[in-house]
A and B are shown apart, each in its own frame.
Chain A
Amino acid sequence: SQQGEEDPQALSIQEGENATMNCSYKTSINNLQWYRQNSGRGLVHLILIRSNEREKHSGRLRVTLDTSKKSSSLLITASRAADTASYFCAGRNPTDKLIFGTGTRLQVFP
């Protein structure tokens, strides 16, 4: 399977703590995106990191990309209960298809 593997599968933290999710692929990837999915809803785009970037920030989000290791990480700082959702990485494979990871379920307790 071309799917990305995400780690951890599930993460539970308290409000105010930081949440880190990791994503890795077996094939080379480009232009990696992160999406958020609230329970029972569609996915929403969060942030894009281009292949020539190593790190990118957007508000409380920090994303890193290591193309040599075929991996990316998403850090959410100062988590809030409203951040409770599933998070998916999605990278472009060599044929330019967008391949999703298996997802991390984040639970933030008030």
Chain B
Amino acid sequence: NAGVTQTPKFQVLKTGQSMTLQCAQDMNHEYMSWYRQDPGMGLRLIHYSVGAGITDQGEVPNGYNVSRSTTEDFPLRLLSAAPSQTSVYFCASSYSLAGVGELFFGEGSRLTVL
């Protein structure tokens, strides 16, 4: 199994450009989520999904859009990139949203916005 796969690993954008970070998992997990990691701030939840067709906002959703058309895929769209969105983005999945479900993480996508 590949687990959670994120692409691209690195990306440089100019302010105002848009792009999509791809995330796919092959573990048949219902729950998928996107986090951003910034120095000294740990991981903050951007958006999450509890199943195909269902998405919800996390702690820092502004400037990002998501959709979940299949169980496997959960892309994150940056609509108009800003320097404040320079960060490392992680996709994570779990068999369960609630209780004791552990997260399985991708390797991350490092985004720089100039």
A residues within 8 Å of B by Cβ? 2-4, 6, 9, 31, 33, 35, 40-45, 48, 50, 88, 90, 92, 96-103
Contacts and interface: CB of A to CB of B under 8 A. Distances in A.
B45 A3 contact: no
A3 to B, nearest CB: 6
B100 to A, nearest CB: 5
Given A42-B90, A42-B107, A43-B105, A100 B97 contact: no
Nearest to B33: A98
Interface of B: 4, 35, 40-45, 58-59, 90, 92, 97-100, 102-108
Contacts of B90: 42-43
A43 B107 CA distance: 8
Nearest to B9: A40
The 4 A-B residue pairs with the shortest CB-CB distance, nearest first, are A42-B105, A45-B102, A100-B43, A102-B42
A19 B4 CA distance: 30
A90 B4 CA distance: 19
Nearest to A43: B105
B100 A101 contact: no
A48 B45 contact: no
B43 to A, nearest CB: 4
Contacts of A96: 97-99
Given A96-B98, A100-B42, 6 more contacts: A6-B42, A33-B103, A43-B105, A92-B98, A102-B42, A103-B42
15 contacts: A2-B59, A4-B42, A6-B42, A33-B103, A41-B107, A41-B108, A42-B105, A42-B107, A42-B108, A44-B105, A45-B104, A48-B100, A88-B43, A100-B35, A100-B42
Given A3-B44, A97-B45, A50 B100 contact: yes
